[in-house]
Structure 1
Amino acid sequence: MRTEHEVPAPGGGRLWAERRGAGTPVVLLHGSGMDSRLWDAVAPALARHHEVIRYDARGLGRSTTPQRPFDDLEDLRAVLDHFDLARPALVGLSMGGETALDLTLAHPERVAALALIGASVSGHDWPPSPGTTAYTEARHRGDAAALAALELSVWAALGRTAPGGELIETMVTDNAARRITSEYHLTGAPPRNAESQLARVTAPTLVIHGTHDHPEIATIAHHLATTIPGAHHHLLPAADHYLPLRTPEQLTSLLLTHLT
């Protein structure tokens, strides 16, 4: 059975969420500038074995636009509490992986397992580049069209004709303007530094990234895999940052094995 929900967000507003399947619970977190459609090709297969919850982060997809500072970690806690999930597995991509890792460190008793896909990590010092500079400038200008074009050129390197390409382009374009507002209010979250605490992670951890992802994501993935105790690392070919839409079958297989 599939059901849709509106989860009250801390401080006001609501988070759109979907629940499907039965079994041990798994929560799927998408990345910045995306929404839960990222998991369209993965969630149904996972739900044949697990209770699967996916949701749109604050201000993205079908969730309401923030009116004041908010914290993605507290939003995740609100989702877990709404569905009465005492100890689910967390599967996060990019920003979603960062949030999942931050929660795992802050509340280890609430996380049964962790999967980090093309993940960012709080406390990481990203090297300056023309791409990051252009991102910052587009945000400051409020230029949604430029931000969407940068997202697609930098992070969806395999292009529109690769698997999932049309949905990726639609999702990025739909969220570009809303992303600017959301990220403006996200600056209210307290600073965190998971990178310096990786050795404290006790949840069984799977680290995945694609061969065509941003080079810095590969650097982060290597550091996660070699520093988190017992972590397993997989590199998937023919995948960029939008890995769940590029190679859903391979990703689902890895996740099911890890979550068993």
Structure 2
Amino acid sequence: MSPHTAPPAVEVHVPVPGGDRLWAERRGSGSPLVLLHGSGTDSRLWDAVAPALARHHDVIRYDARGLGRSSGPKQPFDDVADLTAVLDHFGLGSAALVGLSMGGETALDFALAHPGRVAALGLVGASVSGHDWPPSPETAAYAEARRRGDAAALAELELSVWAAMGRDAPGGELIATMVEENSARRIVSEHHLAGGAPARAAEPLLGTVTAPTLVVHGDRDHPEIAAIARRLAADIPGARGHLVQGADHYLPLRTPDRLTDLLLTHLA
């Protein structure tokens, strides 16, 4: 597919249930593609891949409720309902969904709830609802930081556990900036999300996923993400798995060219 010049990006604020608004950006032309970021960051996660994807696709990315430039929740909310609102706002009956970590979990939950609205799935370093994470000092420290509302401790944990390659690796400064800017707001957002989203368990339902699925994770990511990736690739019918060298959890900023190539091939 030969690249072409993409139209300029347009920024909007999408209304969602409860009166909040999500910051969103739309750029490019072609088949629609929605990018979903992880829990400790915002849509800047896709800065290094969105322009290239937009040469071939109608690309939408947005900041999840309470993060980035989106308004903070004042009541419980559901991230799957928010994704529905984004698609409806842009008049999209269906779209390809590409999500990292929490964004991958949301994309998969949406695909199970609304299979006719998902043209393809890209699960990047994805978590999955219903997964039983093994106890560890890291998970205990996360729980304690959230309990105390300690944003600085939460940011430090996020960077030490998930950004193993450090600030000096590609994208390191932006990763640190996003994590540090979002840590306090993340505590509030996660509290309201936990109270608003219905209990979901995608793991037992992976065999019912109908969308063509690409599963990607980095060789420097958390071992449990690698285990989840193997499960996703094995249990989702027809799914293809790829291990990317030289990337931790923040793969779109660590190895953007490789991820872009994988996504464009998958979505062609």
Shorter-chain TM-score range: over 0.9
Question: Given the two structures, how large is their TM-score scaled by the length of structure 2?
Answer: 0.97
* C-alpha displacement of 1:11: 1.2
Aligned amino acid, residue 116 of structure 1: L
Structure 1 CA distance, aligned partners of 2:81 and 2:65? 11
* C-alpha displacement of 1:47: 0.1
- 1:156-195 counterparts in 2 under 5 A? 156-188=163-195, 189-195=197-203
* C-alpha displacement of 1:100: 0.2
Structure 1 CA distance, aligned partners of 2:177 and 2:78? 26
* C-alpha displacement of 1:252: 0.1
In the other structure, the counterpart of 1:83 is 90
In the other structure, the counterpart of 2:236 is 228
- 1:213-224 counterparts in 2 under 5 A? 213-224=221-232
Gaps of 5+ in 2: 1-7
Structure 2 CA distance, aligned partners of 1:12 and 1:157? 37
* C-alpha displacement of 1:244: 0.1
Aligned amino acid, residue 242 of structure 2: H
* C-alpha displacement of 1:52: 0.1
Structure 2 CA distance, aligned partners of 1:79 and 1:44? 20
Aligned amino acid, residue 63 of structure 1: S
Aligned amino acid, residue 232 of structure 1: R
Deviations 1:115-150 (Å, cap 9, x if unpaired)? 000000000000010001000000110100000000
What SS does the corresponding residue of 2:99 show, helix, strand or coil? strand
What SS does the corresponding residue of 2:86 show, helix, strand or coil? helix
In the other structure, the counterpart of 2:4 is none
In the other structure, the counterpart of 1:150 is 157
Gaps of 5+ in 1: none
RMSD over aligned Cα atoms: 0.4
What SS does the corresponding residue of 1:187 show, helix, strand or coil? helix
In the other structure, the counterpart of 1:12 is 19
In the other structure, the counterpart of 1:130 is 137
Q: Which runs of 4+ in 1 moved over 6 A?
A: none
In the other structure, the counterpart of 1:50 is 57
Structure 2 CA distance, aligned partners of 1:130 and 1:84? 45
* C-alpha displacement of 1:214: 0.4
1:110 to 114, 117, 120: 117
In the other structure, the counterpart of 2:245 is 237
The answer to whether structure 1 residue 140 and structure 2 residue 138 are counterparts is no
What SS does the corresponding residue of 2:230 show, helix, strand or coil? helix
Structure 2 CA distance, aligned partners of 1:177 and 1:96? 19
Once the two structures are aligned, what percentage of the paired residues are identical? 75
In the other structure, the counterpart of 1:32 is 39
Structure 2 CA distance, aligned partners of 1:21 and 1:40? 14
* C-alpha displacement of 1:33: 1.2
Deviations 1:192-213 (Å, cap 9, x if unpaired)? 0100000000100000000000
* C-alpha displacement of 1:112: 0.3
Aligned amino acid, residue 124 of structure 2: I
What SS does the corresponding residue of 2:263 show, helix, strand or coil? helix
The answer to whether structure 1 residue 258 and structure 2 residue 244 are counterparts is no
What is the number of equivalent residue pairs in this alignment?
A: 260
* C-alpha displacement of 1:12: 1.3
Aligned amino acid, residue 161 of structure 1: D
Deviations 1:43-94 (Å, cap 9, x if unpaired)? 0000000000000000000000000000000000000000011110000000
Structure 2 CA distance, aligned partners of 1:108 and 1:119? 18
Question: Given the two structures, how large is their TM-score scaled by the length of structure 1?
Answer: 1.00
